[in-house]
Amino acid sequence: MTLDPDVLNLLDLIKRAGRPALDSLSPPEARIAFAAGRPALQADPAEVASVRDFSIPGDVPVRFYRGIGTDPAAKLPCVVYYHGGGWVLGDLDSHDVLCRRIANDAGCAVMSVHYRLAPEHKFPEAYDDAIAALRFAVDQPEQIGIDSAKIAVGGDSAGGNLAAAAALYARDNGIALTHQILIYPATDMAMTHGSYRRVIDGFPLVARTMEWFIAHYLRTQADAYDWRASPLRAATLAGTAPAVVIVAAHDPLCDEGLAYAKRLELDGVLVDSLYFSGQLHGFISMGKMLRASDTAIRAIANSLRQSWS
Protein backbone atom coordinates (compact mmCIF):
# COMPACT_ATOMS: atom_id res chain seq x y z
CA MET A 1 0.00 0.00 0.00
CA THR A 2 1.25 3.45 -0.94
CA LEU A 3 2.02 6.01 1.72
CA ASP A 4 0.93 9.63 1.54
CA PRO A 5 4.01 11.80 0.77
CA ASP A 6 3.28 13.75 3.95
CA VAL A 7 3.58 10.50 5.91
CA LEU A 8 6.89 9.68 4.25
CA ASN A 9 8.22 13.05 5.35
CA LEU A 10 6.95 12.45 8.88
CA LEU A 11 8.54 9.02 9.13
CA ASP A 12 11.85 10.46 7.92
CA LEU A 13 11.65 13.16 10.61
CA ILE A 14 10.97 10.55 13.30
CA LYS A 15 13.88 8.42 12.10
CA ARG A 16 16.29 11.37 12.11
CA ALA A 17 15.12 12.41 15.57
CA GLY A 18 15.96 8.97 16.95
CA ARG A 19 12.65 8.78 18.76
CA PRO A 20 12.52 5.64 20.96
CA ALA A 21 9.69 3.15 20.53
CA LEU A 22 7.03 3.68 23.18
CA ASP A 23 7.07 -0.01 24.10
CA SER A 24 10.77 0.30 25.01
CA LEU A 25 9.91 2.83 27.74
CA SER A 26 8.22 2.74 31.10
CA PRO A 27 4.75 4.37 31.21
CA PRO A 28 6.07 7.56 32.90
CA GLU A 29 8.86 7.81 30.30
CA ALA A 30 6.40 7.17 27.47
CA ARG A 31 4.14 9.97 28.74
CA ILE A 32 7.04 12.40 28.62
CA ALA A 33 8.01 11.29 25.10
CA PHE A 34 4.40 11.48 23.91
CA ALA A 35 4.08 15.04 25.17
CA ALA A 36 7.47 16.09 23.79
CA GLY A 37 6.45 15.15 20.25
CA ARG A 38 3.36 17.34 20.13
CA PRO A 39 4.89 20.71 19.13
CA ALA A 40 6.38 19.27 15.94
CA LEU A 41 3.18 17.51 14.91
CA GLN A 42 0.19 19.54 16.00
CA ALA A 43 -1.17 22.70 14.43
CA ASP A 44 -1.43 25.83 16.53
CA PRO A 45 -4.48 25.85 18.84
CA ALA A 46 -7.41 27.74 17.37
CA GLU A 47 -9.21 30.45 19.29
CA VAL A 48 -12.57 29.30 20.67
CA ALA A 49 -15.41 31.25 22.24
CA SER A 50 -14.58 29.92 25.69
CA VAL A 51 -12.70 27.11 27.40
CA ARG A 52 -12.63 26.07 31.04
CA ASP A 53 -11.33 23.18 33.11
CA PHE A 54 -13.24 21.60 35.98
CA SER A 55 -13.94 18.21 37.53
CA ILE A 56 -17.21 16.35 37.39
CA PRO A 57 -18.53 14.13 40.21
CA GLY A 58 -16.15 11.23 40.72
CA ASP A 59 -13.21 13.64 40.43
CA VAL A 60 -12.89 13.20 36.66
CA PRO A 61 -11.12 16.20 35.05
CA VAL A 62 -12.78 17.65 31.94
CA ARG A 63 -12.13 20.60 29.63
CA PHE A 64 -15.19 22.29 28.17
CA TYR A 65 -15.10 24.24 24.90
CA ARG A 66 -17.68 26.38 23.13
CA GLY A 67 -17.01 26.91 19.42
CA ILE A 68 -16.05 30.30 18.03
CA GLY A 69 -19.02 32.46 17.07
CA THR A 70 -21.58 30.53 19.08
CA ASP A 71 -24.16 32.39 21.14
CA PRO A 72 -23.00 32.50 24.80
CA ALA A 73 -26.62 32.01 25.91
CA ALA A 74 -27.40 29.15 23.52
CA LYS A 75 -27.79 25.52 24.56
CA LEU A 76 -25.26 23.99 22.21
CA PRO A 77 -25.00 20.47 20.81
CA CYS A 78 -22.14 18.69 22.56
CA VAL A 79 -19.52 16.03 21.83
CA VAL A 80 -18.25 14.13 24.87
CA TYR A 81 -14.71 13.41 23.68
CA TYR A 82 -12.29 10.76 24.95
CA HIS A 83 -8.61 11.26 24.09
CA GLY A 84 -6.36 8.59 22.64
CA GLY A 85 -3.09 7.27 24.04
CA GLY A 86 -3.52 3.54 24.54
CA TRP A 87 -5.23 3.99 27.94
CA VAL A 88 -1.71 4.81 29.23
CA LEU A 89 -0.87 8.19 27.63
CA GLY A 90 -2.62 11.44 26.84
CA ASP A 91 -4.53 14.08 28.75
CA LEU A 92 -6.57 17.21 28.23
CA ASP A 93 -3.58 18.99 26.67
CA SER A 94 -2.70 16.22 24.21
CA HIS A 95 -6.02 16.63 22.39
CA ASP A 96 -6.64 20.32 22.98
CA VAL A 97 -5.96 21.29 19.36
CA LEU A 98 -8.32 18.63 18.00
CA CYS A 99 -11.14 19.46 20.40
CA ARG A 100 -10.88 23.16 19.55
CA ARG A 101 -11.18 22.35 15.85
CA ILE A 102 -14.22 20.13 16.35
CA ALA A 103 -15.92 22.79 18.49
CA ASN A 104 -15.27 25.49 15.89
CA ASP A 105 -15.94 23.51 12.73
CA ALA A 106 -19.12 21.87 14.04
CA GLY A 107 -20.33 25.00 15.87
CA CYS A 108 -20.79 23.04 19.06
CA ALA A 109 -19.53 22.39 22.56
CA VAL A 110 -16.93 19.73 23.29
CA MET A 111 -16.36 18.18 26.70
CA SER A 112 -12.94 16.53 26.68
CA VAL A 113 -12.52 13.85 29.35
CA HIS A 114 -9.31 12.88 31.14
CA TYR A 115 -10.14 9.40 32.34
CA ARG A 116 -7.82 7.50 34.70
CA LEU A 117 -4.79 5.97 33.01
CA ALA A 118 -3.20 2.54 33.17
CA PRO A 119 -1.22 0.83 34.59
CA GLU A 120 -2.00 2.77 37.75
CA HIS A 121 -5.69 2.33 36.98
CA LYS A 122 -6.63 -0.87 35.21
CA PHE A 123 -9.75 -1.75 33.21
CA PRO A 124 -12.59 -0.96 33.78
CA GLU A 125 -11.65 2.30 35.52
CA ALA A 126 -11.21 4.27 32.28
CA TYR A 127 -14.59 2.95 31.11
CA ASP A 128 -16.17 3.95 34.42
CA ASP A 129 -14.85 7.51 34.03
CA ALA A 130 -16.08 7.62 30.44
CA ILE A 131 -19.58 6.71 31.58
CA ALA A 132 -19.45 9.21 34.46
CA ALA A 133 -18.70 11.97 31.96
CA LEU A 134 -21.49 10.91 29.64
CA ARG A 135 -23.94 10.75 32.55
CA PHE A 136 -22.91 14.24 33.67
CA ALA A 137 -23.60 15.68 30.22
CA VAL A 138 -26.95 13.91 30.00
CA ASP A 139 -28.10 14.57 33.58
CA GLN A 140 -26.69 18.08 34.16
CA PRO A 141 -26.86 19.87 30.79
CA GLU A 142 -27.89 23.16 32.36
CA GLN A 143 -24.60 23.36 34.27
CA ILE A 144 -22.63 23.61 31.02
CA GLY A 145 -25.22 25.11 28.68
CA ILE A 146 -25.77 22.22 26.31
CA ASP A 147 -28.78 20.70 24.57
CA SER A 148 -29.44 17.32 26.18
CA ALA A 149 -31.19 16.16 23.01
CA LYS A 150 -28.06 16.72 20.92
CA ILE A 151 -25.24 14.83 22.62
CA ALA A 152 -22.67 12.75 20.74
CA VAL A 153 -19.67 10.73 21.89
CA GLY A 154 -16.34 10.61 20.13
CA GLY A 155 -12.73 9.60 20.53
CA ASP A 156 -9.60 8.40 18.81
CA SER A 157 -7.77 5.10 19.33
CA ALA A 158 -8.24 4.18 23.01
CA GLY A 159 -10.70 7.06 23.15
CA GLY A 160 -12.55 5.56 20.19
CA ASN A 161 -12.74 2.34 22.18
CA LEU A 162 -14.30 4.23 25.11
CA ALA A 163 -16.68 6.12 22.82
CA ALA A 164 -17.92 2.88 21.24
CA ALA A 165 -18.42 1.34 24.68
CA ALA A 166 -20.19 4.49 25.87
CA ALA A 167 -22.54 4.29 22.88
CA LEU A 168 -23.43 0.73 23.88
CA TYR A 169 -24.01 1.86 27.47
CA ALA A 170 -26.22 4.70 26.21
CA ARG A 171 -28.35 2.30 24.17
CA ASP A 172 -28.81 0.00 27.14
CA ASN A 173 -29.69 2.83 29.52
CA GLY A 174 -32.19 4.82 27.49
CA ILE A 175 -29.82 7.60 26.39
CA ALA A 176 -30.48 8.76 22.84
CA LEU A 177 -27.14 9.89 21.44
CA THR A 178 -27.09 11.63 18.09
CA HIS A 179 -23.72 10.28 16.95
CA GLN A 180 -20.66 8.22 17.77
CA ILE A 181 -17.41 9.44 16.21
CA LEU A 182 -14.90 6.57 16.20
CA ILE A 183 -11.44 7.56 14.95
CA TYR A 184 -9.23 4.51 14.34
CA PRO A 185 -10.88 2.84 17.33
CA ALA A 186 -9.58 -0.17 19.24
CA THR A 187 -12.55 -2.53 19.23
CA ASP A 188 -11.13 -6.00 19.93
CA MET A 189 -8.46 -6.58 22.57
CA ALA A 190 -7.87 -10.15 21.40
CA MET A 191 -5.64 -8.75 18.61
CA THR A 192 -6.71 -11.35 16.06
CA HIS A 193 -7.26 -9.11 13.02
CA GLY A 194 -5.00 -9.17 9.99
CA SER A 195 -3.61 -5.65 10.31
CA TYR A 196 -1.76 -6.76 13.46
CA ARG A 197 0.26 -9.04 11.19
CA ARG A 198 0.77 -6.39 8.49
CA VAL A 199 1.81 -3.37 10.57
CA ILE A 200 4.76 -4.74 12.52
CA ASP A 201 7.56 -2.25 11.85
CA GLY A 202 8.35 1.21 10.57
CA PHE A 203 5.57 3.22 12.24
CA PRO A 204 5.11 4.88 15.63
CA LEU A 205 2.29 2.43 16.43
CA VAL A 206 2.81 -1.21 15.47
CA ALA A 207 1.50 -4.52 16.77
CA ARG A 208 4.00 -4.82 19.62
CA THR A 209 3.11 -1.30 20.79
CA MET A 210 -0.52 -2.37 21.05
CA GLU A 211 0.56 -5.45 23.01
CA TRP A 212 2.36 -3.09 25.43
CA PHE A 213 -0.70 -0.87 25.82
CA ILE A 214 -3.14 -3.74 26.30
CA ALA A 215 -0.87 -5.48 28.81
CA HIS A 216 -0.86 -2.30 30.90
CA TYR A 217 -4.61 -1.74 30.59
CA LEU A 218 -6.24 -5.13 31.13
CA ARG A 219 -6.18 -6.98 34.44
CA THR A 220 -6.21 -10.44 32.85
CA GLN A 221 -6.64 -11.89 29.38
CA ALA A 222 -10.26 -12.62 30.24
CA ASP A 223 -10.95 -8.85 30.14
CA ALA A 224 -10.31 -8.93 26.38
CA TYR A 225 -13.66 -10.70 25.94
CA ASP A 226 -15.67 -8.16 27.96
CA TRP A 227 -17.63 -5.86 25.61
CA ARG A 228 -16.63 -2.85 27.70
CA ALA A 229 -13.03 -3.50 26.62
CA SER A 230 -13.83 -5.05 23.22
CA PRO A 231 -17.03 -3.47 21.85
CA LEU A 232 -16.79 -5.64 18.74
CA ARG A 233 -17.58 -8.61 20.99
CA ALA A 234 -20.91 -7.16 22.17
CA ALA A 235 -23.83 -9.48 21.38
CA THR A 236 -25.31 -6.86 19.06
CA LEU A 237 -24.57 -3.28 18.06
CA ALA A 238 -28.17 -2.70 16.99
CA GLY A 239 -29.77 0.41 18.41
CA THR A 240 -26.57 2.35 18.97
CA ALA A 241 -26.15 5.88 17.62
CA PRO A 242 -25.34 6.60 13.96
CA ALA A 243 -21.59 6.40 13.48
CA VAL A 244 -18.64 7.83 11.66
CA VAL A 245 -15.73 5.38 11.62
CA ILE A 246 -12.34 6.59 10.42
CA VAL A 247 -9.50 4.15 9.75
CA ALA A 248 -5.95 4.36 8.41
CA ALA A 249 -4.47 1.59 6.27
CA HIS A 250 -1.02 1.64 7.93
CA ASP A 251 -2.38 1.05 11.40
CA PRO A 252 -2.54 -2.20 13.39
CA LEU A 253 -6.10 -1.17 14.38
CA CYS A 254 -7.25 -0.80 10.77
CA ASP A 255 -9.01 -4.12 10.33
CA GLU A 256 -10.87 -4.10 13.64
CA GLY A 257 -12.08 -0.59 12.83
CA LEU A 258 -13.35 -1.81 9.46
CA ALA A 259 -14.90 -4.83 11.17
CA TYR A 260 -16.71 -2.58 13.63
CA ALA A 261 -18.10 -0.43 10.83
CA LYS A 262 -19.31 -3.57 9.06
CA ARG A 263 -20.93 -4.92 12.24
CA LEU A 264 -22.70 -1.60 12.75
CA GLU A 265 -24.04 -1.75 9.21
CA LEU A 266 -25.14 -5.40 9.50
CA ASP A 267 -26.88 -4.61 12.81
CA GLY A 268 -28.88 -1.83 11.19
CA VAL A 269 -26.93 1.22 12.39
CA LEU A 270 -26.31 4.10 10.00
CA VAL A 271 -22.56 4.35 9.49
CA ASP A 272 -20.20 6.39 7.33
CA SER A 273 -16.75 4.83 6.93
CA LEU A 274 -13.73 6.88 5.91
CA TYR A 275 -10.71 4.84 4.83
CA PHE A 276 -7.42 6.72 4.48
CA SER A 277 -5.23 4.42 2.39
CA GLY A 278 -2.03 6.45 2.76
CA GLN A 279 -2.23 7.25 6.45
CA LEU A 280 -0.92 5.93 9.75
CA HIS A 281 -2.37 5.72 13.23
CA GLY A 282 -2.70 9.09 14.96
CA PHE A 283 -2.81 11.18 11.80
CA ILE A 284 -5.77 13.31 12.89
CA SER A 285 -3.63 14.87 15.64
CA MET A 286 -0.71 15.61 13.31
CA GLY A 287 -2.14 18.54 11.38
CA LYS A 288 1.13 20.47 11.22
CA MET A 289 2.62 17.76 8.99
CA LEU A 290 -0.29 15.73 7.61
CA ARG A 291 -2.87 17.52 5.47
CA ALA A 292 -5.22 14.53 5.72
CA SER A 293 -5.88 15.61 9.31
CA ASP A 294 -7.83 18.62 8.06
CA THR A 295 -9.83 16.42 5.66
CA ALA A 296 -10.85 14.09 8.47
CA ILE A 297 -11.79 16.86 10.90
CA ARG A 298 -13.92 18.60 8.28
CA ALA A 299 -15.72 15.33 7.53
CA ILE A 300 -16.44 14.81 11.24
CA ALA A 301 -17.75 18.36 11.62
CA ASN A 302 -19.94 18.07 8.55
CA SER A 303 -21.48 14.84 9.81
CA LEU A 304 -22.18 16.37 13.21
CA ARG A 305 -23.75 19.49 11.70
CA GLN A 306 -26.00 17.34 9.53
CA SER A 307 -27.09 15.18 12.44
CA TRP A 308 -27.96 18.27 14.50
CA SER A 309 -29.67 20.27 11.75
**Active-site hit among 281, 285, 303, 307:** 281
Distance CA 154, CA 139 (A): 18
Active site residue 157: yes
Task: Determine which one of 94, 112, 157, 285 is catalytic.
Answer: 157
Domain boundaries, the chain: 5-308
281 is catalytic: yes
Whether 241 and 178 have beta carbons less than 8 Å apart is answered as: yes
Quick one: 75 exposed, middle or buried, by C-beta within 10 A (0-12, 13-18, 19+)?
middle
CATH topology of domain 5-308: Rossmann fold (3.40.50)
Catalytic residue chosen out of the listed positions 4, 251, 303, 307: 251
Helix axes 292-308, 96-106, angle to 10 degrees: 50
The pLDDT tens digits along the chain (309 residues) read: 799 999 999 999 999 988 899 999 999 999 999 999 999 999 999 999 999 999 999 999 999 999 999 999 999 999 999 999 999 999 999 999 999 999 999 999 999 999 999 999 999 999 999 999 999 999 999 999 999 999 999 999 999 999 999 999 999 999 999 999 999 999 999 999 999 999 999 999 999 999 999 999 999 999 999 999 999 999 999 999 999 999 999 999 999 999 999 999 999 999 999 999 999 999 999 999 999 999 999 999 999 999 998
The whole model's pTM is what? Answer: 0.98
